[in-house]
């Protein structure tokens, strides 16, 4: 981890993140990184479930937006677009989230998901409504 979790963030990532095994490994606001195991998150054919991938994207993008909103701020996802490029059937996937635009009321993030070999499994875009602290 190059950038630690800011102390003002809530102490846990949330119950869904815990169920899916999502772990944020770098809290850099310019490049958040998270991992998620494939095991336990597959669809019936043994591939990583698209819904699990979307949850990973929504989670990391929302945390990035929270960093942008700042202490006391709040965010909510309002649009998610994902494209699946390759199936993952084992190991861990890694999501890298970078800002596309961070405005006063909207923030948009691009997320690339890769398998352990570094091959792209999905790309996504998440837009969040930002409610800064008052």
Q: Is residue 118 part of a domain?
A: yes
Q: Is residue 32 part of a domain?
A: yes
Q: How many domains does the chain have?
A: 1
Rounded Cα distance, 31 and 84, in Å: 21
* 21-33 pLDDT tens trace: 999 999 999 999 9
pLDDT for 133: 80
Nearest to 27 by CA among 67, 72, 78, 80: 67
- Residue 12's pLDDT band (cuts 50, 70, 90): confident
The 10 Å Cβ neighbour count of residue 133 is 9
Q: Is residue 11 part of a domain?
A: no
Task: Count CA atoms within 13 Å of residue 77 on its CB side.
Answer: 17
Helix (H) or strand (E) holding 125: strand 120-131
**Which domain, by its residues, includes 41?**
16-131
59 or 13: which carries more pLDDT confidence? 59
Q: Is residue 37 part of a domain?
A: yes
pLDDT for 1: 60
Tokens of 65: 């937006």
Q: Is residue 44 part of a domain?
A: yes
CATH code of 106's domain: 3.10.129.10
Q: Is residue 47 part of a domain?
A: yes
Q: Is residue 3 part of a domain?
A: no
Catalytic residues: 58
């Amino acid at each position: 981890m190059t950038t630690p979790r800011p102390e003002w963030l809530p102490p846990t990532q949330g119950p869904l993140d815990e169920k899916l095994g999502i772990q944020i490994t770098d809290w850099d606001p310019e490049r958040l990184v998270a991992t998620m195991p494939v095991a336990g998150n597959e669809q019936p054919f043994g591939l990583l479930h698209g819904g699990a991938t979307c949850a990973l994207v929504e989670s990391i993008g929302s945390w990035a937006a929270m960093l942008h909103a700042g202490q006391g701020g709040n965010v909510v996802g309002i649009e998610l677009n994902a494209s699946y490029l390759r199936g993952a059937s084992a190991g861990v996937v890694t999501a890298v989230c970078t800002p596309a635009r961070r405005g006063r009321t909207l923030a948009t993030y691009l997320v690339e998901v890769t398998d352990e070999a570094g091959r792209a499994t999905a790309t996504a875009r998440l837009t969040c409504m930002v409610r800064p602290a008052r």
